Amino acid sequence: MKRRSIVTICILLVMCFSVFSNVALASEIQNIKDDSIIEPNIMLPRDKTVVVTYGSVEEVEDTYYYREYSENDEGWWTGTLNLTNIQVLSDKRCRATYEGKIYFSY
């Protein structure tokens, strides 16, 4: 009789532990779902202005391909910028200003 009681108590304990562990697991999964934030993969283009110094006016191109790596975004911002201004400097060099949009890619 004593052995049968011990076996019954052990079985009841195992059942209680399995029920309580499932309840704890279910509440943990619910907490993970509530805390998750889904971020979109699409990033809007950014306006970019770049100033480049050339040795002469003849070297200035109408467009300028720009590329930069962003540590924060973990990817590249690239785009072709258009010439908007040329400033001639005193020593025949010139400063060209390019403007346009750059786009993000991984």
pLDDT per residue as tens digits for the range 22-33: 555 555 655 555
Question: Is 48:97 a contact under the CB 8 Å cutoff?
Answer: no
Say yes or no to pLDDT of 74 above 60. Answer: yes
Report which of 59, 57, 103 is spatially closest to residue 78, judged by C-alpha positions. 103
Tokens of 41: 């993969």
Q: Lowest-confidence range among 4-18, 54-68, 83-97?
A: 4-18
Give the H/E segment covering residue 36: none
Residue 90's pLDDT is: 83
More confident residue, 35 or 71: 71
Radius of gyration in angstroms for the set of CA atoms belonging to the chain, rounded to a whole number = 33
Say yes or no to pLDDT of 35 above 60. Answer: no
Between the ranges 10-14, 57-61, 90-94, where is the mean pLDDT highest? 57-61
